[in-house]
Chain A
Amino acid sequence: MAKTIIDAHNVTKTYNPEKVPVYAVQDVHVHIEEGEFVALVGPSGSGKSTLLNMMGGLDEPTKGSVIIDGVELTELSENKLIDFRLHNIGFVFQAFNLIPVLTAKENVGFVLQLQHMPKKEREKRVLSLLEEVDLEDKIDSKPGELSGGQQQRIAVARALASKPKIILADEPTANLDSKSAANLLNIMAKLNKEENITFLFSTHDQRVIKKARRVITLVDGKVDSDVQQTPT
């Protein structure tokens, strides 16, 4: 039996709790096992990004707990949480993913440098990651010189750099054309299969949803459905 990598228990996020409370996420229970490829879907404002942020330790739940690989995130101090993210979670955002003043190679290597990986080892890993996302020829290009799809692939390579257990992606294909989106999804699916990395991504893109093996639907901050499916 696969081990539970994400355990969100009774998670609630309320904005403005003392005046007019707005429930972004309400009593959500989600268990995700290692190696799953999960799509978090729902209409705008359903709480997808909020739940994803809480699972990534970027936001703190008002109530409930988030346990990642046995570590209760709400119990970590701010610095320990940042360190935890650095070593255990990879992020891919919708936009503004990369550091604009660094080249593709430097962007991917940035996280490794924060982990104090020696230069030779780091360069080797960066090159292999860029090969995995088919961008070895863009090694010295800055984000401004790359297309949206290429930028997202660099972001995936960076998210993978620290060999995280989980990659959280918030609408990763939202700004991409069909071809770039399909390319990105194929890379993510391949990494999930070959390296057993758990992928959790919020989306309302049907192309992404079809690739997922499990689809969790949120409506008004609550889990409406949680179904397994065969990816197409």
Chain B
Amino acid sequence: MLFQIAWRNIWRNTSRSLVVVSSIIIGIWAGIFILSFSWGLYKNNINESVYKQLSHIQIHNPDFKQENDPKFTIPNSDSILKQLESDNRIASVSSRVIATGMITSTTTASGVTIYGINPVSETNQIGLDQNLIEGVYFGSGKDNEILIGQKLAKKHKLKLKSKVVLTFTNVNSEIVSAAFRVGGIYRSKNISLDEVNVYVKQEHLRELLDLKPSETNEIAILIKDEEQLDSITNYSKTLVPNAKVEDWRQLAPELDLIIESFNLYTYIISGLILLALTFGIVNTMLMSVLERIRELGMLMAIGLNKRKIFFMIMLETIYLTLMGCPIGLLMGWLTVTILGRTGIDISMFSEGLASYGFSSMIYPALDQEKYMIIVTMCLITAILSAIYPAYKALQLNPSEAIRKI
């Protein structure tokens, strides 16, 4: 009977109940949207970093990581690459020769990291071919072709076919200078890296550095399933026992921090929205209790104990929440699903965001766990919000309540 009374009580003032239900719906929807948007933004950043810069796993000579000197190489990298390529858990593998040096144009000079890459295998990894805004991806067929970022091109006032000179130290500690022609200008999602990363053909850089044919500084692995990350990392360690094998979390701990901080962010945003919701529910339920004082007094007089009165008022709030929660969840889920496919174009702000590695298209996403967190927090909020009005009802003395005007 109490379930029935509570249910009918909430429809005594339909518009008021609808306001509470609507605020719950909007609260949950807003929570889901904000979190999915943020996660979309971060995930985009993480994917960009992992798929276009770091790869899932990198293998280096341990000293290379410390000294950043190209003489610290991984020997026999060809056979290692072959073994890795034959593993069907691995999506693609590429090797890189890396040197730090100076780029000099007719106008200025600046520091750069020179990547000697294999143009074919890198189409699946760094994907410069997709980011090229001018020129053809290593299309000249010449050895001295260089791909530079748009920002670097602007800084040096470089165009296609402009001549630049790269200066760096080879493995014999001799300074080497070599002339290159700009074969392409790219623009990646991370503008800050576009200013410092330049790409040349691996064989040519290897020669300039005086490295042996099968020596490389870096092997980068992209895997098919992230769940396999630990096992493939361990497998790589067995393949190259003396090398330093790191997964992307170790290579860029700040990305892992993003995930952790997002989890915290989930609680803070949900908490703030639900706090606002709390005031709405408390206010409405308190009003509902105060205008029923005589009725509650009568109920106590005829034998309804305080425990049941408390339960009845809690039930009323729970009903309102249970109506709002699924609708809010459904709306949130629909929004995330639709926008997750179409994406949200934030190109208006993308110039600023791109320098932090964010894309201009954001695809909102939220995993099930976060939905559950929002629902749980919403239910807890509703129950907590109902406690004060229900407690107020418990304070009533039946004889005084009945006489209340």
Contact = CB atoms under 8 A, between A and B. Distances in A.
B264 interface: no
Contact of A82 (B8, B294, B305): B305
A97 interface: yes
Nearest to A168: B301
Interface in A92-125: 93, 95-97, 99-102, 106, 110-111, 113-114
B302 A53 contact: no
A91 B304 CA distance: 13
B348 interface: no
B12 interface: yes
B402 interface: yes
Contacts of A102: 4-5, 8
A122 to B, nearest CB: 11
A101 B402 contact: no
Interface in A34-74: 49-50, 53, 56, 58-59
Nearest to A114: B303
B1 A113 contact: yes
Given A86-B302, A114-B304, A101 B5 contact: yes
A85 interface: yes
A114 B305 CA distance: 10
B12 A100 contact: yes
B156 interface: no
Interface in B279-302: 294-295, 298-302
B364 interface: no
A114 B403 CA distance: 24
A56 B5 contact: no
Contacts of B295: 96, 99-100
A60 B304 CA distance: 18
Contacts of A110: 1, 302
A42 B1 CA distance: 39
B399 interface: yes
A49 B302 CA distance: 16
B234 interface: no
Interface residues of A, number: 31
B342 interface: no
B386 to A, nearest CB: 18
Contacts, number: 67
B301 A158 contact: no
Interface residues of B, number: 24
B298 A78 contact: no
A83 interface: yes
A56 B1 contact: no
A99 B299 contact: yes
B303 A86 contact: yes
A91 B302 contact: yes
Contacts of B397: 58-59
A36 to B, nearest CB: 22
Contacts of A111: 302-303
Which interface residue of B294, B295, B298, B399 has the most chain A CB atoms within 10 A?
B399
Contact of B305 (A83, A99, A159): A83
Contacts of B402: 58, 93, 96, 170
Given A49-B403, A113-B1, A56 B301 contact: yes
A232 interface: no
Contacts of B306: 78-79, 82
Nearest to B9: A101
Interface string B147-176: 000000000000000000000000000000
A101 B8 contact: yes
B398 interface: yes
Contact of A58 (B5, B9, B301, B304): B301
Contacts of A114: 303-304
Contacts of A78: 306
Nearest to A170: B402
A49 B307 CA distance: 26
A28 to B, nearest CB: 16
A213 to B, nearest CB: 26
A97 B398 contact: no
Nearest to A91: B301
Contacts of B9: 101
A97 to B, nearest CB: 7
Contacts of B301: 56, 58, 85, 91, 93
Nearest to B300: A82
A53 B298 contact: no
Contacts of A162: 303
B399 A97 contact: no
A78 B398 CA distance: 11
Contact of B398 (A58, A79, A95, A113): A58
B298 A83 contact: no
B32 to A, nearest CB: 34
A114 B312 CA distance: 14
Contacts of B12: 100-101
A222 to B, nearest CB: 20
8 contacts: A58-B402, A86-B302, A86-B303, A87-B303, A91-B301, A99-B299, A100-B295, A106-B4
Interface of A: 49-50, 53, 56, 58-59, 78-79, 82-83, 85-87, 91, 93, 95-97, 99-102, 106, 110-111, 113-114, 158-159, 162, 170
Interface of B: 1, 4-5, 8-9, 11-12, 294-295, 298-307, 397-399, 402-403
The 8 closest A-B pairs by CB, nearest first: A86-B303, A101-B8, A59-B399, A58-B399, A53-B399, A96-B294, A82-B305, A58-B398
